[in-house]
Amino acid sequence: MTRQETIPFFAPDLFEADREVLLDLVRGIGTAAEQKFILGERTAAFEEALRATLGAADVVACSSGTSALTLVLTAMGVGPGDEVVVPAYGCAPLGNTVANLGAVPVLADIDPVTMVVDPAEVESAITGRTKAVMPAHMFSVMADMPRMRDIARRHGVRLVEDSAVAQGGMLDGRPAGTWGEAGVFSFVQVKTFGTAGEGGAVVTEDPELACLVRSLRNHGQEGQRFRHQRVGCNSRFDEVQAAFLLHRLPGFPERLERRARIADYYTERFTPLLERGVVPPPPGRNGRCFYVYSLLADERDALKEHLAAHGVASHVYYPLPLPHQPAFARFAPRGRRWPHAVAASRRQLAIPVNPHLTDAETEHIADTVCAFAEGRRST
């Protein structure tokens, strides 16, 4: 396979089969007499459909996964003087959403193999100022939510589940997003249940919390338009996106299963490479979400170049852990170390796992990784 035949990391044709449906939805909603583009009957129907698939008490759709985290933390009363324990390795919203409320993100190190936050590190970071702990599922592995629930219960702190990448994941028979007092999803196009744009949702079993989030997303209105019960924001959901996601929801299990089969195949091929410096995620499907298939490679940059030379695009996520980012330097105490987060930032490399990959492409990707590893000495 030549460079001109590169297998892309992000599939460019994710919505090609739905193109006509999407265009018809845009036209239908745009020309309807009611001219309802946000928070209409389609949004309500989507929230109910998603709630039914999760067995949750309530789902509140909003503008993005990041906004969902902010809405939840705001509804929980997180603010100045509070601390929220978050992973030291991951995307910026883990710290941004806390800091933007005037609270302090306390950065906890991660597990060296799964790259999810280490429960022991979370517990050791809890102080008398801790308001919440916010574990995040990473790549294709869910955080240890049973231990997180136990930690939150014993310490009397709130539990927010950042499940933005994990829709469709199951841990011990319980869906991602339903382990915490609230969970969040992201519908940006590359997520497992992505849309042709952006959106998010809050999932909760707490009716009072859901009511607060529903009000906050719409400028603090509750029950009656132009009557503002509290200071809110604009995090409303788009009717076109709601209709499109409703259209795609029945096909979600099939797309997720395709991702899972690809991941199973990769892990079977890559597990023998451990002694050659290439570490796959742990095998199995319990606690997996198949959003991104991420390797840990001792020679990450060399592997990335090797894949590119053989027509395979790959992707480095989070080349700096949060404590080493200038934006979060003030939350990194002098002398504190996060060795596993630092190691992950130097070793992580994601390979294609989207459901549009063919069997031949999947095999070529695996062959290319194996060929690279087999050319290295055992470590």
Q: How far apart are CA 117 and CA 101, in angstroms?
A: 22
Task: Find the mean pLDDT for residues 328-344.
Answer: 96
pTM over 0.95: no
Per CATH, the number for 16-250 is 3.40.640.10
Which residue is associated with the tokens 């950042």?
A: 162
Q: pLDDT for 246-285, tens place per residue? A: 999 999 999 999 999 999 999 999 999 999 999 999 999 9
Going 32 to 36 to 38 to 44, the CA torsion angle's sign is negative
Catalytic residue among 36, 131, 191, 304: 191
The domain segmentation of the chain, as residue ranges, is: 16-250, 251-374
pLDDT band for position 34 (cuts 50, 70, 90) = confident
Q: pLDDT for 140-169, tens place per residue? A: 999 999 999 999 999 999 999 999 999 999
Backbone angles phi, psi at 128, to 5 degrees: -65, -15
Question: Is the pLDDT assigned to residue 171 strictly greater than 50?
Answer: yes
Q: pLDDT for 109-144, tens place per residue? A: 999 999 999 999 999 999 999 999 999 999 999 999
pLDDT band for position 379 (cuts 50, 70, 90) = very low
Active site residue 191: yes
Could you please state the CATH topology (level 3) that the domain comprising 251-374 is classified under.
Aspartate Aminotransferase, domain 1 (3.90.1150)
The residues, any chain, with a CB within 8 Å of residue 177's CB and separated by 6 or more, are 54, 56, 161, 163, 166, 167, 183, 184, 185, 203
pLDDT band for position 230 (cuts 50, 70, 90) = confident
